[in-house]
Amino acid sequence: MSLNYAIIGAGMMGQEHIRNVGLLPGASVSAIVEPNDEMAANATQLAVELGMPAPKRVQTVSDLVSANNVDAIVVVSPNDTHFGMMQELLHTNFPILLEKPTSTDVDQAWKLSNQASDRSAPVWVAMEYRYMPPVTRLIEEVRRGTVGDTKMLSIVEHRFPFLPKIDKWNRFSARTGGTMVEKCCHFFDLMRLITGSEPTRIFGSGGQDVNHLDETHDGDRADILDNALVIVDFENGVRASLDLCMFAEGSYWQEQVSVVGDAGKVEAFVPGPSRFWPGGGERASEVVISPRADKAPTREEVHVDGNLLAAGDHHGGTYFQHLKFQQLVTTGKGTPEVTLADGAKAVEMGAAAERSIRTGELVKF
Ligand SMILES: NC(=O)c1ccc[n+]([C@@H]2O[C@H](COP(=O)([O-])OP(=O)(O)OC[C@H]3O[C@@H](n4cnc5c(N)ncnc54)[C@H](O)[C@@H]3O)[C@@H](O)[C@H]2O)c1
């Protein structure tokens, strides 16, 4: 069965979705909703270059309902538009892939989850980091029992600063939900997935120390955290930490995930987007397994097809997520792997970290 996608918000990430839809079997982008003329033109040209018929540019979400060539919707507009957009979309029968964070506000995120509970068409929250091949490998090893009982989890992301965005929406916490929600909801989601447990308390320390200090927009100064350390305790006793630095684009590894249990350790090392690295070629990711018993760590390279790496900034994660979403929609079998409740919990943890950083308090759940 062929599948026609509508993209709502065809900016940087929307175009990553278009490139990845272009790699899926029997899939095409048939419509876009994009208020910015330049982005709409770029997205249309991209789709055509990928061999798709030119997608129709429609003005509103309700135009998508009357369009007869849309089978599924990908929401990729700025964070503060997601809730309002979903108020309209939840009344339709379209399967939806909704970019994280589901909302900038915790109550709204949970409201979405409740509103969708009796909806028959699926809503899948896009969490690309789950689907990066080295991270998937790490999770498989943890599930297989390689580390024994998980006790500690550490996630490090040392990367480039936030990129320029249309209307500078990502420079302001009011529009993003704050860095801990906007960017780090991915990592809080990974923490829940890897530990299989729920948080009991969060403490964070962070600041805006290097990036965007002189940036203003309509007289308002950018107020985005660019570094933080966050500690999370989980119900099952696992301790997790996040170390985020957004002025570290010289680092060889962008993400480092480490899980330690009573029997050993497994680590995943993921390089940043190839387009930002000299030469622009593939840098393989790595998974290292270090059992306690024999003190003989094994290191393996995880290779990702160059076409998948070139299609986005998420080490192939966007493609593998799309494959699963497509399978769910075309077969009608199964349920979304990342639900609106997962999305809401990730927003809630991000908001708790943001609050802890700003007030100094320990936030309990
Ligand atoms: N999962 C990830 O790893 C990841 C990575 C990047 C971005 N994102 C998410 O994707 C979304 C978009 O981010 P981006 O980096 O592409 O930003 P962007 O600014 O590059 O693109 C957003 C686009 O949405 C358009 N837009 C604004 N208001 C709209 C509306 N009401 N309806 C339709 N389109 C509208 C803008 O004109 C712009 O072209 C955000 O929610 C962001 O958090 C996720």
**Is it the case that residue 115 has pLDDT exceeding 80?**
yes
Spacing, Cα 200 to ligand 1 middle (Å): 31
Spacing, Cα 98 to ligand 1 middle (Å): 11
Q: If pLDDT is split at 50, 70 and 90, which confidence band does 41 have? A: very high
**Is it the case that residue 188 has pLDDT exceeding 90?**
yes
The domains found in the chain, sorted by start residue, are 3-128+325-336 (3.40.50.720), 129-305+342-364 (3.30.360.10)
Q: If pLDDT is split at 50, 70 and 90, which confidence band does 67 have? A: confident
**Is it the case that residue 201 has pLDDT exceeding 80?**
yes
Q: Which residue's alpha carbon is at the smallest distance from atom 25 of ligand 1? A: 9
pLDDT at 231: 98
157 lines ligand 1 (CB under 6 A): no
- pLDDT tens sequence across 127-168: 999 999 999 999 999 999 999 999 999 999 999 999 999 899
Separation of alpha carbons 246 and 270, rounded Å: 16
Percent of the chain residues topping a pLDDT of 70: 100
43 lines ligand 1 (CB under 6 A): no
76 lines ligand 1 (CB under 6 A): yes
Q: If pLDDT is split at 50, 70 and 90, which confidence band does 282 have? A: confident
Q: What is the mean pLDDT of the chain?
A: 97
- pLDDT tens sequence across 299-308: 999 999 999 9
- pLDDT tens sequence across 330-358: 999 999 999 999 999 999 999 999 999 99
Query: Tokens standing for 358?
Result: 């700003």
Atom of ligand 1 nearest to the CA of 182: 43
Q: Which residue's alpha carbon is at the smallest distance from atom 18 of ligand 1? A: 11
**Is it the case that residue 18 has pLDDT exceeding 90?**
yes
100 lines ligand 1 (CB under 6 A): yes
Torsion of CA 208, 213, 217, 223, to 10 degrees: 10
